[in-house]
Structure 1
Amino acid sequence: MKALFIGGTGTISSAITRQLAESGCELYLLNRGNRNDELPAGVRIIQADINREEEVSRLIEGHSFDVVADFIAFEPAQLERDYRLFHGKTKQFIFISSASAYQKPLSDYRITEGTPLSNPYWAYSRNKIACEEYLMKQYREQGFPVTIVRPSHTYDERSIPLGVHGSKGAWQVARRMLDNKRVIIHGDGTSLWTLTHNSDFAKGFIGLMGNIHAIGESVHITSDESVTWNQIYEIIADALGVKLQAVHVSSEFLAACSQDDLRGSLLGDKANTVVFDNSKLKRLVPGFTATVRVDQGIKQTIRHILAHPEYQVEDPEFDLWCDKVIGALETAAKSVTE
């Protein structure tokens, strides 16, 4: 199989890249070369900015692919560019959408690929929906061989999966735990969430590559395991060897207090209970099973981050914000009871 990945070094795509390289796939990555140092042997690089369409068109001249996958497209204009570049040059085009595009609030917590797409809270999700609509139009009218993949919360060894963190990543929450400080959990922590390790996601994704039954289809790839946010934070604290000091704060209050896009990432995603029905994926990829249990995966991540200081990025601004939010709650409670 000859495949081209636009991106190929991110949280989701890096595990796919590794597994394909081990299988002997003729794999090309088209990216700017900023994160290619740790790529496995045998992966070919086309170094370019995908946004420079004329240059990319020249670099891929003479190539045709069994699969092209874009991991870094977020708006319809980027898919219009991809269509111009790859129409007639690939047997399958895979777009990485997002499970956050599913209806919010959900009418049924069990999500299938037939769940409506609608997210009034998050522009990111609405843009992904628009991308899907554009590609399916090209499939119906032009025969463009599209497969749409919807990941949910996928993580790897470089970042701790959390509900609330700052712009510099998840480490500051772990730092607060290690310092015996209180950490914020959105809502009451009892809503169900699905975490998928990127190595499991890769198995499902590779099973869709070159799969004639996946053309014209939308498929989500997630674990079958559901856990609460309270359990997730308890697992993190246990892996750090500390006792969790949790403060539960309503998602609406956190969104109102945040300068970042917590309205989208919380109200439009993580504040909702989500349980995925992976029956469609298992029909398309017989034998697919996510095997990395949440507690095992998170403990692997914690061990890796503790052993690699470069991932321990301090975020004093977020740390101060947490203290202010917790202090505001305490002040409000005191004012009511006095």
Structure 2
Amino acid sequence: MSPIRVGLIGAGYIATWHADALKATPGVTLSAVCDISESAAQGLAEAHGAQAFCDVDALIAAGCCDAVHILTPPHLHEALALQCMSAGLHVLVEKPVAESAAATLRMAEAAQAASVRFHPGHNFLGLPSYQRLKAEMATGSYGRISGCEITWALPLAPLRSGPYNLWLLREPRNLLLELGPHLVAFAHDLFGPVEITHAEASKPALLPGDDPRPQYIRAFGRAGTAEITFTLALVETVDDRSVTLRGSSARARLDFAQDVLVTERENPSDLVVNPLRRQLDLSRQHLGQGLRNAWIQARSLNTRNPYGQSFRGMNAAIYGALAKGAPVDRRFSADSAVAVMQSVEAMIDHLPSKVLQVAAPAVQTRDPKPTAMVIGGTGFIGRALTRRLAAEGRDVRVLSRGRSGPFPDLPDRVETVAASLHDLDQLTQAMEGIEVVFNLAKALETSWADALRNDVGVATRIGMACEKAGVQRLVYTGTIASYDMSDPRHTITEETGFPVDMSDRNLYARSKAECERQLLKLHRERGLPVVIARPGIVVGPGGPLQHWGIGRWHGAGAVRIWGHGRNTLPFVLNEDVADGLVRMIDAPVEGQSFNLIGEPMFSARDYFDAIAEQLGARIRVAPGNLYAFYASDAVKYALKKYALRRHGVIRPSLADWKSRAHFSPFDNSRPKQVLGWRPEPDRAAFVEKAILRANLMGF
């Protein structure tokens, strides 16, 4: 029997999970990947032996698919699903399947009319532990269920640090549309149709332009005999993604993020032994499931984590039924998609109207006439830089993937335009009338070939576009990560060179160093007016709590810092970085570089002590043995290269791992002398800006 050929429409982050799960699904082959980004489509397609397309019409015309997974932003789902279903393709649509229940119903009706299958991507219903929960509930093992609590408590960093142009943040209702289906799908599958009785929201985060988005949403509903509480908590919190059933005989708690099901039951022992037996039973369950999951992870070389297993379970149910000509699994049916979206929409309707309001943008009184362009202007540093330029009276053109940006309060000063970073002509045209270009773009790739294409190639292309457009100054942001910072006896200045051989460095450090090399080559050979800035560990308002420049985070409550954590780190405030970049516009410093490092103040341990003192939040801090990190990475490298046979795998050197601890001190005198730069010198003021005003916890 021929395998079912599946195409992916959309090659973003979630597409990798779908691709890996399809690869592990019997009787299925990944045949095509389609994305408007040619490089994204080709990269994922080549990794899985599939065809790449940049147009859905071309994918359909090629006749290479029997089914497609639609993985684009949600506002595109309906049109794409209708197009594919009318062409006779079965369709799986990532949640939310649409922006409304009415649109979901239209998709279900179109599937029926075309005699194809329409599946919602309720992946967590495919978890093995959820299947056990559902089966035990059906047998009456938990007794009669009176209550159910379904929780999604996971920090949502874009609410506080961007990017703000995501579909998720366009309207308050989008938060429930995006995350609500995870919760409601459980309730609907366990109990049937859910009646929503109340909803409330709190802890708003203010997006640029004082546009609030709720970070804490609770809804109450009823299904059969069960009273159901739905909770969304998006502030910095301990990860709690769970389903708890309260029955007359037991309480069952499914941690669907960890694939762990634990049942707490009464026992008939006397009052002395009873509590001991109860806790021993819970301990036995936790130990057993912990060992089981550890064995699964070790045996699969970390390819079957709970999230990945949820996609595998979903695919097995969907394509197993399709291959056999069996009825659709009701978990992933069109009826389920419609019912879930109806309940999510009911939650939205029960929220107070003021929660759903979007702040009106400022009234535009004139068209901006930009002389400055910021590439990467929607990012952490880019937002601060753009606002600093506008405050100084410059009009700014922000280059973005979309046509909206985080500056609704600056319509007279800031315009957002879309242009491909891979198209020299588009870039040149976008630079018309521009005097200074700030390139803050970066690409976090997983192979050197991709880094050369999407980071080094892009940086070089931007430089060439600046030449063609007659730009007077290009300011490029590199990174101090490109230095060898492993020796505490060696002070780093701008005269310190990068290692001659960067092949044993992490891809980000190596790629940024190569970008600098290519741009300086253009300066020497063709006079490109480039200046290079290398910011340190950037903190401040709009920055994340879980900063990976400090350590390896395990949720919001625990971090393993790089090294012992007692050496002074090269922190710098976001506003000081913006000030340094602006000072590079007119200074006679072409071809030069500057390390933007704040005054020495904090070690990693000092920083977390300050958070505890100022915010009353003690984060669990553990030292990170860099030799252990290096050895562990060596094992992972060997497994990836020889067991999983992955291409382009790199192994960073011991010096690279030590460099992450920033052992080498920095001398920041040069930007102060040449640019007149003055980073914040006062410790109390630094704490005020880096911690108190940074809204690190989200509330």
- TM-score normalised according to structure 2 size: 0.39
Q: Does 1:8 align with 2:385?
A: no
- Structure 1 unaligned blocks of 5 or more: 177-182, 308-338
SS at match of 1:306: coil
Q: CA deviation at 1:186?
A: 3.4
Q: How far did 1:144 drift?
A: 0.9
Q: Secondary structure at the match of 1:192?
A: coil
Contact 2:494 2:594 survives alignment (8 Å): yes
CA offsets 1:234-277 (integer angstroms, 9 cap, x no match): 12222331445433230232354477999689715332324221
> What is the identity percentage for the equivalent residue pairs of Structure 1 and Structure 2?
22
Residues 1:243 and 1:283: Cα distance change in structure 2 (over 3 Å)? closer
Aligned counterparts, 1:42-81, within 5 A: 42-60=413-431, 63-73=432-442, 75-81=455-461
Q: CA deviation at 1:18?
A: 0.8
Hey, what's the Cα distance between the residues in 2 that align with 1:127 and 1:275?
Answer: 23
- 1:270 corresponds to which residue? 660
Say which SS state the counterpart of residue 605 (structure 2) adopts.
helix
Tell which has more relative contact order, 1 or 2 (C-alpha 8 A, sep 6+): 1
Matches within 5 A, 1:165-184: 165-166=552-553, 172-173=555-556, 175-176=557-558, 183-184=559-560
Q: Report the alpha carbon displacement of residue 44 of structure 1 after superposing the two structures with TM.
A: 1.8
Alignment match, 2:388: 19
Structure (1 or 2) with the larger CA radius of gyration: 2
C-alpha distance 242-140 of structure 1, shift in aligned 2 (>3 A): closer
Contact 1:5–1:70 (8 Å) recurs in 2: yes
Report the counterpart of residue 475 of structure 2 in structure 1: 94
C-alpha change, 1:40 and 1:269, in structure 2 (3 Å) is farther
CA distances 1:93-126 after superposition (whole Å, capped 9, x unpaired): 1111111112243474321101121254322111
**What is the aligned length?**
293
Cα displacement (A) at 1:191:
2.0
- Please say if residues 478 and 532 of structure 2, whose CA atoms lie closer than 8 Å, have aligned partners that are also in contact: yes
Deviations 1:211-236 (A, max 9, x none): 2x211111111201242221122122
The corresponding residue for 1:319 is: none
User: For residues 39 and 199 of structure 1, do their structure 2 counterparts lie closer, same or farther at Cα, with a shift above 3 Å needed?
Assistant: farther
Report what 1:188 is aligned to.
564
Quick one: structure 1 residues 224 and 98, their matched pair in 2 at CA, closer, same or farther if it must change by over 3 Å? same
Counterpart CA distance in 2 for 1:207 and 1:199 is 12
Tell me what 2:495 maps to.
114
Which residue does 2:508 correspond to in 1? 124
The alpha carbon displacement at 1:143 in A equals 0.8
Residue matched to 2:626: 251
Q: CA deviation at 1:149?
A: 0.8
How far apart in 1 are the matches of 2:486 and 2:521? 26
Is structure 2 residue 544 aligned with structure 1 residue 159?
yes
Amino acid at match of 1:284: V
Q: Distance in 1 between matches of 2:677 and 2:497?
A: 27
Seen in structure 2, the aligned counterparts of structure 1 residues 59 and 16 have a Cα distance that, compared at 3 Å, is closer
Q: Given that residues 565 and 603 in structure 2 are in contact (C-alpha distance below 8 angstroms), is that contact kept between their aligned partners in structure 1? A: yes
Please, which of 198, 206, 231 is the counterpart of residue 582 of structure 2?
A: 206
**Shift, 1:35, TM fit:** 6.5
Q: Distance between the aligned counterparts of 1:96 and 1:287, measured in 2? A: 16
Deviation, structure 1 residue 131: 1.3
Alignment of 1:29-48 (within 5 A): 29-33=398-402, 36-41=405-410, 42-48=413-419
Return the offset for 1:19: 1.1
CA contact (8 A) 1:12 1:155 kept: no
Secondary structure class of the residue paired with 2:551: coil
User: Per the alignment, in what secondary structure is the counterpart of residue 110 of structure 1?
Assistant: coil
The one-character-per-residue Cα deviations of 1:120-146 (angstroms, maximum 9, x if unpaired) are 432211111111111111111111111
Q: Residues 35-91 of structure 1: CA distance to partner in whole angstroms, max 9, x if unpaired?
A: 71345411122222322333333444xx23221111114532112211331104211
Residue aligned with 1:87, SS = helix
1-structure distance, mates of 2:404, 2:630: 32
Q: Is the 8 A contact 1:67 1:94 kept in 2?
A: yes
Q: Give the Cα separation in 1 of the matches to 2:538 and 2:609.
A: 19
Deviates further, 248-257 or 80-89? 248-257
Find the aligned partners of 1:35 and 1:164 in 2 and give their Cα distance: 33
- 3-state SS, counterpart of residue 247 of structure 1: strand
Secondary structure of 1:248's partner? strand
Shift of 1:279: 1.7
